[in-house]
Structure 1
Amino acid sequence: MMDYKRKKREVSAESALSKVMFICSRQEKCCFDIRKKLCEWEISSADQDQIIQTLIDEKFLNDERYTNFYVRDKFRFNRWGRIKIAHHLKQKQIPEYIISDAIDQLDEREYTQNLQDILSSKIKSIREEDPYQLRAKLFRFAQGRGFESQISLQIIDKLISKKD
């Protein structure tokens, strides 16, 4: 059996610009995502800079807008905590001040309620009699979702005391 590799088509800077404009008009993207796409198309770094600047000038790209949507969506739909959201945004090279501004917009009561809901759901699926083991499993679960230790422990203690 022969190994077929897809032949890469040459993409001109003008063509790349129109393609990424279309992509950005369909879905919110950040500069990092677009630069990655342009690298895949083997666009020169000078052309990449020009394309990204054009997208910013034409309001197709806005890292603050992207970050606000990302934070809200990952919190509401994926039920992630602040730590995990911030980590993923840092990987996309979003500046720290933009991340913290977006995360600060999360409603504290909704945030705590979200964690309580996912831990309440998780406690039902854990078959553990030892309260220390149960607490450890719930804590690891909350950490994996990116919630802060202090909030996690407060809610876990409330849930375990109710269970007894």
Structure 2
Amino acid sequence: MNQQGLTIDEAKKKIEYYCAYQERCHKEVVEKLKSLGMFETAIDHIINHLLEQNFLNEERFAKAFTRGKHKFKFWGKRRIEQELKFRDISSYNIKTAMKEIEDEYLVNFYNLADRKWETINETSIEKKKKKWIDYLIRKGYETNLIFEALKNYD
């Protein structure tokens, strides 16, 4: 029993559902278990169970996260990498996950850049360029890519 009265088996079932609903990283699962009031030894036991039963797989999480953020939020590699590092994902898994978006990366970048350029209502071309560049940097695209694309808007 823990502080909230959950047994390890009850917590295990709850976390299995949590992981089955959506890919999770170790850090999210540990935080969830702590929020359920589980103690360190119980957390270790449950994490091992989740790994053995393949509910928790860091490489799978990194790939799904990368595909999703790029496809739906149009994030660039730098932002995705930063977010994965924040979630304590290994460099190897980050590198592997980045391969998931290689094929559509440039197409998505140029589509986003074009769409953004058209939506910026700015009379000064210099201000428009600055807003456009800042937006793409916030999205996590590489500066060399941004400045190369900027040549298309002169």
Distance in structure 2 (CA, Å) of the matches to 1:105 and 1:26: 21
Cross-structure match for 1:99? 94
Q: Which residue of 1 aligns with 2:135?
A: 141
C-alpha deviation, 1:131, in angstroms:
2.7
Give unpaired runs (5+ residues) of structure 2.
none
- In structure 1, give the amino acid aligned to 2:116: K
**In 2, Cα distance between equivalents of 1:114 and 1:25:** 29
Q: Distance in 1 between matches of 2:97 and 2:21?
A: 22
| Distance of 1:157 and 1:9 partners within structure 2 | 59
Percent identity between matched residues is 25
Partner of 2:48: 53
Please identify which structure carries the higher helix content.
Answer: 2
Does 1:64 pair with 2:59? yes
Distance (whole Å) between structure 2 residues aligned to residue 26 and residue 106 of structure 1: 23
The 2-side partners of 1:126 and 1:24 are apart by 40
RMSD of aligned Cα (Å): 1.4
**Partner of residue 39, structure 2:** 44
Secondary structure of the residue aligned to 2:15 is helix
**Structure 1 residue ranges (4+ consecutive) displaced by more than 4 angstroms after TM superposition:** none
Contact 2:4 2:37 in 1 (8 A): no
Who wins on radius of gyration, i.e. which is larger? 1
Equivalent residue, structure 2, for 1:89 = 84
Q: How far is 1:135 from its partner?
A: 1.7
Give TM-score scaled by structure 2 length.
0.92
- The TM-score, its normalising length taken from structure 1, stands at 0.86
Aligned residue pairs, count: 152
Counterpart selection for 2:113 from 102, 115, 119: 119
